[in-house]
Homo-oligomer: A and B are copies of this chain.
Amino acid sequence: MYAPLLAHIARYVTLTEAEANTLLSYLKPQTVARKEYVVTEGQVCLANYFVLRGCLRTYLLNEKGGEQTIQFGIENWWLTDYASLDNHAPSQFFIQAVENTEVVVFEKRVQEEVFSQVPKLERYFRIILQKSAAAALFRIKFLFSLSGEARYHHFNNAFPGFVQRVPQYMLASYLNFTPEFLSKIRAKVGHT
């Protein structure tokens, strides 16, 4: 069941069988039913989550009490709230399953032990965090420089099929426009 994670790690670093087994002995699987939470606002985030199947999202409640989705995590993505995880501070976000989701749980309390036993994982996470940093910069670029319609098409091209998987209101808030605007764009391109 951990095969997708091991395959993902193998893209960046080569673990021996013993190292892979050491890592796996510290991980555990978790099933998160649709709409269930792995983190809620005010609670300390205790783990980093790797999505095996399904989809998680990070959202916040804005001043008007509306849900603002700020991050999606699909298959082969790690999702967590590093601010909460690293500082053992209450999270300012919710991390919720969009679909029935299977994750691998890498708990903070075993993190240092895992890194000291399998130092190659420092490299693996360093590399995927660089990819996240690149993605975060593009995210801000698109929010600032593209029209709403261009943001939709960019996102749809980058993650084909994904726009069909999530409720419109989540996608609309992620792309920073209204659900009505999203309906209009989708009607135009024949998606509805």
- In Å, the complex CA distance between A146 and B64 comes to 11
Contact assessment for B130 and A62 in the assembled complex, using a CB-CB cutoff below 8 Å: no
- In Å, the complex CA distance between A115 and B93 comes to 34
Contact assessment for A133 and B70 in the assembled complex, using a CB-CB cutoff below 8 Å: no
Closest partner residue, chain B, to A173 (CB atom): B144
Q: Whole-angstrom distance from the CB of A138 to the nearest CB of chain B? A: 7
Interface residue total, chain A, C-beta cutoff 8 A: 37
Contact assessment for B136 and A93 in the assembled complex, using a CB-CB cutoff below 8 Å: no
Contact assessment for B86 and A137 in the assembled complex, using a CB-CB cutoff below 8 Å: no
Q: Whole-angstrom distance from the CB of A127 to the nearest CB of chain B? A: 8
- In Å, the complex CA distance between A92 and B144 comes to 13
